Amino acid sequence: MSRIYLILGFILILIFGVILIFTYFFSPSKAPSKPPETKTFSPKPSGSTALSTTPLQVISTTPTNNQTNQSLKTVISVEFNKQPFLSDLQVFVSPPLDYALNLTENVLYINPKADLQKNTLHIVKISDSSGNQVYQFSFTTGDNPAINTNPDKEFFDKQDEDLRNIRPDLYVFDKTPHSTDKFSIQAGELKPQPTSHYSFIVTLKDKNEAEVKIALYNWLRSIQLTDEHIQKLDIEYR
């Protein structure tokens, strides 16, 4: 009888051992794992990369090259064939002057913070971030802050129209300071928000503020600004 129990015990131990072996080798944790998938990433060229294949070129400038008798209150503009990054441009102006740079789409504006030197040859050089010269032009100032005797009037009328539509503040900047018996207006600071723009300070010479605002409005209209242009101006009354 004891032999039977021994045999049964041996069989049970054997079965239990087989179960353990089966569980060990065929459990999910021991199953051979598949090698992880390797995903390849092929970056698509960004817009700037695609555009970089086209060399940066200057289409037009204001003032034009070799222009003479230019106003001392000139905002210099350079139009490119594509929109560059401001950080990729190097600007050299001679004689040296203090200025601010603004980029609106394809047009770079060089805004002097003071009148240009009179009867002086000014040279402007534009280079890329590597120092390669893109364009150079020059112009000569006269001795009047507001004179412009360039014979190509149609060209400059178009330049003025474009400037009014794109940056009316720069257009007014070129017309200030201005004074009447009702008010005086001068350029204020260059503000970065919401987009880079010049503010203007209007000093009241009449106690009737409503009449002053009408006089200012009439003057702005007289320099060919529309209501839409005027609404974009940042004006502070004092």
Report which DSSP code applies to 159.
Answer: H
Neighbours of 197 (CB within 10 A): 20
Distance CA 136, CA 140 (A): 14
| Backbone Cα Rg of the chain | 37
Residues 63 and 149 in one domain: yes
Q: CATH code at 77?
A: 2.60.40.3710
pLDDT band of residue 44 (cuts 50, 70, 90) is: very low
Mean pLDDT, the chain, as a whole number?
80
User: Cα angle at 198 between 196 and 200, to 5 degrees?
Assistant: 150
pTM of the full predicted structure?
Answer: 0.45
- Structure tokens, 34: 């598949």
State the pLDDT at residue 19: 72
Query: How do 76-80 and 107-112 pair as beta strands?
Result: antiparallel
149 in the same domain as 175: no
Residue 199 burial (C-beta neighbours within 10 Å; 0-12, 13-18, 19+): middle
Let me know if residue 123 belongs to a domain. Answer: yes
Backbone angles phi, psi at 51, to 5 degrees: -70, -25
Q: Taking residues 128-157, what's their average pLDDT?
A: 75
CA count, 13 A, side-chain hemisphere, 87: 0
The per-residue pLDDT for range 162-182, each reduced to its tens digit, is 888 888 988 898 888 999 999
Say yes or no: 149 and 132 in one domain.
yes
Tally of domains within the chain: 2
CATH number at residue 212: 3.30.300
Q: Are 155 and 219 members of one domain?
A: no
Are 172 and 82 in the same domain? no
Print the domain residue range for 146: 55-166
Angle (nearest 5°) at CA 32 between 27 and 34? 130
Instruction: Give the lowest-confidence range in 24-38, 54-68, 145-159.
Output: 24-38
Contact by Cβ (8 Å): 109, 115 = no
**pLDDT tops 50 at residue 39:** no
Kindly indicate the confidence band of residue 83, based on its pLDDT and cuts at 50, 70 and 90: confident
What is the C-alpha to C-alpha distance for residues 52 and 37, in angstroms, rounded to an integer?
A: 35
User: Edge to edge, what strands does the sheet with 178-179 contain?
Assistant: 178-179, 183-191, 197-204, 234-237
What phi and psi, each to the nearest 5 degrees, are found at residue 155?
-60, -45
Tell me what pLDDT residue 49 has.
Answer: 43
Q: Which two tokens stand for residue 52?
A: 């970089």
| Residue found by looking up tokens 């789409």 in the block | 105
Encode 100-125: b = buried (16+ Cβ within 10 Å), e = exposed: eebbeeebbbbbbeeebeeeeebebe
Tell me the C-alpha distance between 136 and 14, whole Å.
Answer: 95
User: Does residue 118 form part of some domain?
Assistant: yes
